[in-house]
Amino acid sequence: MNYWLMKSEPGELSVDDLAELPGRRVGWFGVRNYQARNFMRDQMRCGDLAFFYHSSCAVPGVAGVVKIVREAYPDPTQFDPQSPYFDPKAQGSSPRWFQVDVELVKKTRLVPLSELRAQGALASMRIFQRGNRLSITPVQPEEWNNVVRLAESAPRADV
């Protein structure tokens, strides 16, 4: 099993939005970075787990856990001229962008970025690497376990 961190802006899709969807499932659409696309297309497998991370908001952080329930397939938004994710270079016979389907496993308490940063054991997480702006990043098993422990613990007042 692989572990991931998948970022979403709560204004686009929040963990609460996902909890309200039928089957608590959604296609992870709109990824327009080649490296993040490659992670989805080439490495994500059904059963992999990912942190649902709220980004570009007042308090970014881990807000839940999702499971990959459908492996990569062409993202339909690339073909829709009305979509903000439309890509005129994408062709049906040769799609450029892919998505996976995720299902909510559980909402967690919000583990803010500041609390994640305060953990020395997480210093090497890809999300903290200089210049990293990827919306999807791999998470090492020991990092996964540390973040899960944080999510299951009481919030820290000092971060």
Domains of the chain: 3-149 (3.10.590.10)
Q: Which of 3 and 131 is assigned the larger pLDDT?
A: 3
**Per-residue confidence (pLDDT) for residue 130, from 0 to 100:** 85
Mean of all residue pLDDT scores within the chain: 95
126-153 residues labelled b (16+ CB within 10 A) or e (exposed): ebeeeeeebbbbbbeeebbebbbebbee
130-155 pLDDT, tens digit per residue, is: 888 899 999 999 999 999 999 998 87
Would you say 4 and 39 are in contact if contact means Cβ atoms under 8 Å apart? yes
**Per-residue confidence (pLDDT) for residue 158, from 0 to 100:** 63
DSSP string, the chain: --EEEEEE-TTT--HHHHHHSGGGEEE------HHHHHIIIII--TT-EEEEEE-SSSS-EEEEEEEEEEEEEE-GGGG-TTSTT--TT-BTTB---EEEEEEEEEEEEEEEHHHHHT-GGGTT-GGGSTT---SEEEE-HHHHHHHHHHHHSPPPS--
Q: In percent, how much of the chain has pLDDT > 90?
A: 91
Q: In percent, how much of the chain has pLDDT > 70?
A: 97
64-114 pLDDT, tens digit per residue, is: 999 999 999 999 999 999 999 999 999 989 999 999 999 999 999 999 999
**Per-residue confidence (pLDDT) for residue 156, from 0 to 100:** 67
Q: Which of 82 and 156 is assigned the larger pLDDT?
A: 82
pTM metric for this prediction: 0.94
Average pLDDT of 2-18?
97
**Per-residue confidence (pLDDT) for residue 159, from 0 to 100:** 58
